[in-house]
Structure 1
Amino acid sequence: MKVAVFSDVQAVLPALEAVIEHIEAWHPDMVVMAGDLVNRGPDSGGCLALFDAMRREQGWLPVYGNHEVWVLRCGEEAPASEGERDIRRFTDLAWQQVADQAERLHGWPDHLCLHPPDADAWLHVTHGTMAGNRDGITPGRSDESLAGKLPQGVALFVSGHTHRAHQRRTQGMDVVNVGSVGSPFDGDVRGSYGRFTWRGGRWHTELVRFPYDRERAARDFETSGFLDQGGPLARIVYLEWERAELLIAGWRERYQDAVLRGEITLESSVERYLRTIT
């Protein structure tokens, strides 16, 4: 049995096309997209349409990520303040791109569990951990901090969310983060996904890195309106993609609350933050 799992496309269509080509060449029995297909990138609509075609035609399976949840919420709820309106501008743009096909985002599960036909060696896929789809596993996170946040009775736990591919063994199971297809945060601009093979009575794991057309992706950021219409934070998101480095968390820690309270404009906060990191 062969299972492919990928995550965190983040609306980068050339990366999604490349991972589909890689996965189809491997001929897996099952494919799971572990969340964050949309948002934070230039083409949420194109990515959703392409993945939905693979879902309908090939039986590929989705799991909700925090960005699917957030995009749907932004489609249903108006911003509570001017600061929130500015902060979520790139997500509102993502909603505009998927609104006419939003039904394709509804009804996804938060978790998927499967096992080989001849064994109860369960493989559990979710976006984050059992604590939620915003609770991610990074290489530096301790095993102790995962106590109570992994499922019971599984052989293999697979997640994404942090955009950092790695694997370890803890609590009697193999734990694998498949990283990000479209926007890694580990300094390697190539996309990543996971291959899992049931062979010889156990799961074998492989993390795969692959290149994709980043020149085309960079043009998409420009021509889609993401940088022009996505608000000041879109500049940080683009820099994250360009560097393969998490940056927006630092802005949130320093400035987000102040922007929401109206103590500083989003534009000013981003200008100040960019001066510290560029």
Structure 2
Amino acid sequence: MKVAVLSDVQANQPALDAAADEILAWGPDLVVMAGDLINRGPSSRACLERFDALRQTSGWLPVNGNHEVWVLRCAERPPTSPIDGQMRRFADWTCTQITPVQHLLANWPDHLCFAGPGHRAWVHVAHGTLLGNRDGISASLPDAALAERVPSELAVFVTAHTHKPLIRQFGGTLILNVGSVGSPFDGDPRGSYGRLEWRGGRWHAEICRFAYDRDQTDRDFHESGFLSEGGPLVRILYEEWRRAQLLMPTWVEAYRDAVLAEKIGLDEAVDAFLARLD
């Protein structure tokens, strides 16, 4: 049995297309998209439509990520203040883009479980952990913190969210973090996805890295209107994609409270942060 799991496309259509080509060529029995297909990037509608076509033709299965949940919430609830509106402007831009196809997100589950061919071969796929879809598993997380995050009596726990691929053992459970198709944060700009294969009476895990047309993604950021219309924070999202590096939490720690307290404007705070990177 062969299973592919991809996640965190983040509205990067060239990366999704390249990942789909690789996965289809491998010929798995099951493919799961573990969330964050949309938002943070320029091509949410195109990615949603491509994934739905793969659901229809090849039986690919979805799992909700925090960005699907957030974008749908933004569609239902207006900003609470002008500053909130500025800070979530990129998500509202995504909402506008996907409105004609928003029904394609209906009834996505928060997790998915399936059994392998052997005894005690259960696999659990989630975007995050038992603590929620905004909670991830990294190499630095101690084993003592995993018990409340990983379901018991599993052969494999597959997760994502951190945008950093990882294979790790926790007791009798193999943990596979599949990383990110469209916006890795481990310094390697290539996309990643995970493979599971049942051989010799157990699951074997592998991280696959792949190149894609980053020049086209760069053009998509600029030509779609995402950079010009998505608000100041889009410039940080773009730098995260360009550098394959997590930046937003550093900006949040340094500037968010001051922006919310109206001690500094959002544009000015983003300008100051990006200037520190050069």
What is the alpha-carbon distance in structure 2 between the residues aligned to residue 194 and residue 20 of structure 1?
12
TM-score by length of 2: 0.98
**Post-superposition offset of 1:257:** 2.4
User: Residue in 2 aligned with 1:112?
Assistant: 112
Q: Is the 8 A contact 1:255 1:269 kept in 2?
A: yes
Query: Any runs of at least 4 consecutive aligned residues in structure 1 with deviations exceeding 4 A, and if so which?
Result: none
User: Residue in 2 aligned with 1:248?
Assistant: 248
Q: Does 1:47 align with 2:47?
A: yes
Alignment of 1:224-235 (within 5 A): 224-235=224-235
Could you give the per-residue CA deviations for residues 96-125 of structure 1, whole angstroms, max 9, x where no partner exists? 111111111121111100012443410110
User: Residue in 2 aligned with 1:265?
Assistant: 265
Secondary structure in structure 2 of the residue aligned to 1:257: helix
User: Residue in 1 aligned with 2:36?
Assistant: 36
Q: Does 1:73 align with 2:73?
A: yes
Q: Percent identity at matched positions?
A: 56
Q: Does 1:168 align with 2:168?
A: yes
Give the aligned residue type for 1:153: E
What is the alpha-carbon distance in structure 2 between the residues aligned to residue 122 and residue 205 of structure 1?
14
User: Residue in 1 aligned with 2:61?
Assistant: 61
Q: Is the 8 A contact 2:118 2:201 kept in 1?
A: no
User: Residue in 2 aligned with 1:139?
Assistant: 139
Give the aligned residue type for 1:231: G
Secondary structure in structure 2 of the residue aligned to 1:92: helix
Give the aligned residue type for 1:97: Q
Could you give the per-residue CA deviations for residues 27-77 of structure 1, whole angstroms, max 9, x where no partner exists? 000000000000000000000000011111211000000000011011111
What is the alpha-carbon distance in structure 1 between the residues aligned to residue 208 and residue 59 of structure 2?
22
Q: Is the 8 A contact 1:83 1:261 kept in 2?
A: no
What is the alpha-carbon distance in structure 2 between the residues aligned to residue 143 and residue 224 of structure 1?
43
Q: Number of aligned pairs? A: 278
Q: Is the 8 A contact 1:81 1:260 kept in 2?
A: no
What is the alpha-carbon distance in structure 1 between the residues aligned to residue 270 and residue 171 of structure 2?
41
Give the aligned residue type for 1:61: L
Q: Is the 8 A contact 2:120 2:153 kept in 1?
A: no
User: Residue in 2 aligned with 1:210?
Assistant: 210
Give the aligned residue type for 2:32: V
**Post-superposition offset of 1:263:** 2.6
What is the alpha-carbon distance in structure 2 between the residues aligned to residue 220 and residue 146 of structure 1?
38
What is the alpha-carbon distance in structure 2 between the residues aligned to residue 63 and residue 257 of structure 1?
32
What is the alpha-carbon distance in structure 1 between the residues aligned to residue 187 and residue 118 of structure 2?
40
What is the alpha-carbon distance in structure 2 between the residues aligned to residue 256 and residue 138 of structure 1?
24
Q: Does 1:184 align with 2:189?
A: no
Unpaired segments of 5 or more residues in structure 2? none
Q: Is the 8 A contact 1:197 1:203 kept in 2?
A: yes
Give the aligned residue type for 2:235: R
Give the aligned residue type for 2:37: L
